[in-house]
């Protein structure tokens, strides 16, 4: 019951998010759409209020198990409420596809099953994009910032929701202060991104929507052609800069502001590796495009390479051209980068760069131990020796990550899907990348898939957003034993 009491408050808070598309609907002077947003928001608020009435006498400090259960409830049920207005505003959409779209938005995946985006009401596209801004850093971080003021603990929620293996790190005495600081940094960058897009030539509506999906690293667009619709170098430069910034751990920005020094960024091994991999990948893809005469001018190759490497590596998923037509190595490399490049604590998905750094360090350690069995060579990060528990958790995550990816790929192939589409669609959704290859490549979307395939990939997005373990722990007997 305490979990439902908190969830009721989350629902009530989420009902306020419907005010954003409602404002755009009023500006469009579309009476029918105003009723849709008002009704969906009211239904969400009433559901939260009723649930609170039922559970209001059952309040206590949340335990670790409560945190995991609450996070899963939020990410399973909020997309259902977010999908309601889509059912009444998008022509010929089914419930499965509406839920898929809402899940993709809140998990900042960017995989869409919709076409004809240019002809949708502005309020609908605003809704899709704004959900990515809300979901990008994690709805629960906002809850963590608010719940302590209501007398409810938030640290367990922070541990269950925060991406990356370094969940126990606290940067302020109170976890709520950290959460509020993160959101402050997040919205500060968002405001700068909005103004930059406007400067690059976008309308205020397009600038707002693409700001939401850039900072959330979600990649939704108000146009079927994505960023390619604008055919603008300035727009691509703005997108590239803010995608790169959003792919870095926001906790580091918070520490930089508090310490008034750039050294926390400069000395961070994960960020150093993140920049190194991005620069090397951009150079490699640029050389490949020039060598295969994909572009007439080297600067055009550099521009397209930079934009798409940053877009896919940070799991945003924007496209300005059909990169699936490039030499086959390039699109496969882009998908591979999306699996691990984003930093822990960023709005990106995937394995996270810090885990790859730890795996490489551990592999190097084992190679040294083969030659020198008695050598003392601990795995360190940031000058500190990592405990065995962190390494064990990393190995466990990677094992489950591989198993889940293979299992879901086999399920998709069982439905008759070809191997390229099956594997890339699972990789793209588990890692919250968005576009895949084959039938779900950048020139197409997930609307070509069946209802069952769409449902499977909705689950994949949930698993990826909560980094697998937070979901799968619910299916263990130990979780439910007292």
Evaluate if pTM is beyond 0.85: yes
Asked if residue 412 lies in contact with residue 425, where contact means CB atoms within 8 angstroms, the answer is yes
Structure tokens at 422: 């099956």
The average pLDDT across 153-175 equals 51
Average confidence (pLDDT) over 129-143: 75
State the Cα angle at 450 between 445 and 452, rounded to 5°: 120
Query: What's the mean pLDDT in 367-381?
Result: 80
What is the per-residue pLDDT for 284? 96
pLDDT-derived band of residue 466, with 50, 70 and 90 as boundaries? confident
Query: Residue 380: pLDDT band by 50, 70, 90 thresholds?
Result: confident
Backbone angles phi, psi at 287, to 5 degrees: -60, -40
| Predicted local confidence at residue 396, as pLDDT | 85
pLDDT above 90: percentage of residues in the chain: 53
Q: pLDDT higher for 17 or 62? A: 17
- Mean pLDDT across 93-121: 92
Q: Which residues are paired to 381 by β-bridges?
A: 384
The answer to whether 145 and 176 have CB atoms below 8 angstroms apart is yes
Q: Looking at the predicted structure, is the pLDDT value of residue 96 above 90?
A: yes
What's the average model confidence in pLDDT over 57-75?
76
69-95: pLDDT as tens digits: 888 888 899 999 999 999 999 988 999
Tokens read off for 323: 């990169």
Interatomic CA distance for residues 357 and 339, integer angstroms: 13
Quick one: average pLDDT of 135-155? 51
Using the predicted structure, report yes or no on whether residue 58 has a pLDDT greater than 70. no
Please enumerate in sequence order all residues whose Cβ is within 8 A of that of 405, keeping only pairs 6 or more positions apart, or say none.
426, 427, 430
> Among positive and negative, which fits the CA dihedral 41, 459, 109, 397?
positive
pLDDT for res 384 = 76
- In the predicted model, what is the mean pLDDT of residues 371-399? 80
Neighbouring residues of 431: CB distance < 8 A, sequence distance ≥ 6: 315, 338, 339, 349, 350, 351, 464
pLDDT of 217: 92
Q: What confidence score (pLDDT) does residue 147 get?
A: 41
The mean of the pLDDT values for the chain is 86
What would the pLDDT profile of 432-461 be if each residue is shown by its tens digit? 999 999 999 998 889 999 999 999 999 999
Cβ atoms of 407 and 289 within 8 Å: the answer is no
Q: When comparing pLDDT for 428 and 473, which is higher?
A: 428
244 or 171: which leads in pLDDT: 244
Report how far residue 168's alpha carbon sits from residue 154's, in angstroms, rounded to the nearest whole number. 13
pLDDT of residue 172: 52
Using alpha carbons, select from 434, 247, 215, 272 the residue that is nearest to residue 344.
247
pLDDT category at 176 given cuts 50, 70, 90 is low
Q: What pLDDT does residue 283 have?
A: 96
Better-scored residue on pLDDT, 183 or 278? 278
Is residue 101 predicted with pLDDT exceeding 60? yes
Query: Taking each helix axis from N to C terminus, what angle separates 2-15 and 31-55, rounded to the nearest 10 degrees?
Result: 160
Token readout for 100 is 């898929």
Q: How sure is the predictor about 167, in pLDDT bands with cuts at 50, 70 and 90?
A: low
236 band by pLDDT with thresholds 50, 70 and 90: very high
Q: pLDDT for 336-369, tens place per residue?
A: 999 999 988 788 888 889 888 888 888 888 888 8
CA 432 from centre of chain: 6
Closest CA to 102 of 122, 121, 74, 143: 74
Higher pLDDT residue, 55 or 281? 281
Give kind and range of the element (H or E) at residue 354.
Answer: helix 353-371
Q: Is the pLDDT of residue 330 over 80?
A: yes
CB 107 within 8 A of CB 75: yes
Q: How far apart are CA 240 and CA 311, in angstroms?
A: 7
Q: Quick one: average pLDDT of 2-13?
A: 85
pLDDT more than 70, % of the chain: 89
pLDDT interval class at 146 (50, 70, 90): very low
The reported pLDDT for the residue numbered 407 is 96
What's the average model confidence in pLDDT over 10-29?
86
Q: What is the pLDDT of residue 61?
A: 67
The pLDDT of residue 9: 86
Confidence at residue 163, expressed as pLDDT on a 0 to 100 scale: 55
Computed over its alpha carbons, how large is the radius of gyration of the chain? 22
Judged against a pLDDT cut of 60, whether residue 216 lies above it is answered with yes
């Amino acid at each position: 019951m305490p979990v439902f009491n908190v969830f009721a408050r989350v629902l009530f808070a989420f009902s306020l998010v419907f005010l954003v598309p409602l404002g755009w609907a009023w500006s469009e002077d579309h009476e029918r759409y105003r009723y849709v947003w008002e009704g969906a928001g009211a239904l969400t608020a009433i559901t939260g209020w009723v649930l609170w009435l039922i559970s209001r006498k059952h309040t206590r400090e949340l335990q670790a198990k409560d945190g995991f259960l609450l996070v899963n409830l939020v990410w399973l049920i909020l997309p259902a409420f977010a999908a309601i207005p889509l059912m009444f505003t998008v022509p010929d959409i089914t419930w499965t596809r509406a839920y898929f779209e809402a899940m993709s938005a809140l998990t900042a995946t960017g995989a869409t099953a919709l076409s004809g985006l240019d002809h949708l009401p502005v309020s609908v596209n605003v809704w899709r994009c704004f959900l990515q801004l809300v979901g990008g850093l994690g709805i629960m971080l906002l809850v963590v910032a608010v719940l302590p003021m209501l007398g409810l603990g938030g640290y367990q929620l922070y541990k269950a929701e925060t991406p990356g293996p370094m969940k126990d790190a606290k940067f302020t005495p109170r976890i709520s202060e950290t959460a509020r600081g993160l959101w402050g940094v997040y919205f500060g960058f968002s405001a700068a991104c909005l103004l930059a897009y406007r400067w690059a030539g976008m309308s205020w509506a397009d600038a707002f929507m693409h700001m939401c999906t850039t900072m959330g690293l979600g990649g939704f667009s108000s146009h079927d052609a994505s960023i390619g619709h604008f055919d603008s170098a300035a727009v691509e430069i703005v997108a590239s800069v803010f995608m790169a910034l959003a792919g870095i751990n926001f906790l580091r920005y918070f520490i930089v502001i508090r310490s008034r020094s750039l050294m926390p960024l400069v000395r961070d091994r994960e960020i150093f590796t993140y920049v190194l991999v991005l620069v090397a990948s951009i150079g490699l893809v640029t050389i490949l495009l020039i060598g295969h005469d994909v572009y007439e001018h080297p600067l055009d190759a550099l521009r397209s390479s930079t934009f798409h490497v940053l877009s896919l590596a940070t799991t945003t998923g924007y496209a300005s051209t059909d990169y699936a037509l490039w030499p086959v190595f390039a699109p496969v490399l882009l998908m591979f980068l999306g699996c691990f490049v984003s930093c822990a604590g960023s709005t990106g998905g995937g394995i996270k760069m810090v885990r790859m750094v730890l795996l490489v360090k551990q592999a190097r350690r084992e190679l040294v131990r083969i030659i020198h069995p008695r050598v003392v060579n601990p795995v360190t990060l940031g000058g500190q020796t990592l405990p065995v528990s962190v390494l064990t958790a990393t190995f466990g995550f990677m094992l489950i990550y591989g198993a889940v990816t293979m299992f879901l790929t086999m399920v998709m192939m069982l439905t008759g899907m070809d191997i390229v589409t099956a594997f890339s669609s699972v990789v793209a959704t588990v890692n919250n990348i968005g576009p895949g290859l084959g039938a779900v490549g950048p020139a197409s979307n997930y609307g070509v898939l069946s209802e069952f395939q769409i449902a499977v990939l909705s689950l994949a997005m949930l698993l990826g957003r909560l980094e697998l373990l937070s979901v799968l722990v619910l299916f263990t007997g130990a979780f439910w034993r007292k």
